[in-house]
Amino acid sequence: MRQFIIILLSLTIKIAIGQDIPYRDESTYKLSLKMEFKVEKPPNSNKIEFADKTKYSPEPQLYLNASLELITLVEDDYKIKVITNIGSGLLSKKIKSPDTFLIKLGYANHMKSQTSPNKFTIQFINKEKKTTSLIILEIKEDGDFMVNGKRFGKV
């Protein structure tokens, strides 16, 4: 019972902390989804995978990139960082002026089947290393492309 209470309290704290950071104001950026067809690299035949992965296809697959154009900067903007739902970092750059950033999301079929990261958190960080605002991109199993919880399109 004690472990259950500790887990419940830690989840409550985590949720409360996560809700303090607001979404980035939509008027300060422009997001566009770029789609192209790429041939996927074949899996390494010398490596054994125990995880359930999608099967390799030699046919060109739909690959997604997000283009994030910062129209105006907020006075606290110092750095931009992109993290996936499995914790890997995709991008980390200092912001000097309004700029465009390309975020390589991945193959659409892998994101829909959730065998690769399907949620991307774009953090805007100030000089004190505190996150000031977020943009959250997510590809759902049905192909809906979500931005900050709102449907942006379909993949």
Report pLDDT digits (tens) over 18-51. 458 899 999 999 999 999 999 887 776 676 666 5
The pLDDT of residue 50 is 60
**How many Å apart are CA 35 and CA 25, to the nearest integer?**
25
Residue 69 C-beta-side C-alpha neighbours within 13 Å: 7
66-83 pLDDT, tens digit each = 999 999 999 889 999 999
Using DSSP's 3-state secondary structure scheme, residue 20 falls into coil
- The residue among 155 and 12 whose pLDDT is bigger is 155
CATH architecture of 24-40+57-154: Sandwich (2.60)
pLDDT of residue 155: 86
What confidence score (pLDDT) does residue 16 get?
Answer: 45
Identify which of 135, 127, 142 has the alpha carbon closest to the alpha carbon of residue 29: 135
- Both tokens of residue 35? 């789609």
Q: Are 73 and 133 in contact (CB under 8 A)?
A: no
In angstroms, the CA 60 to CA 12 distance is: 44
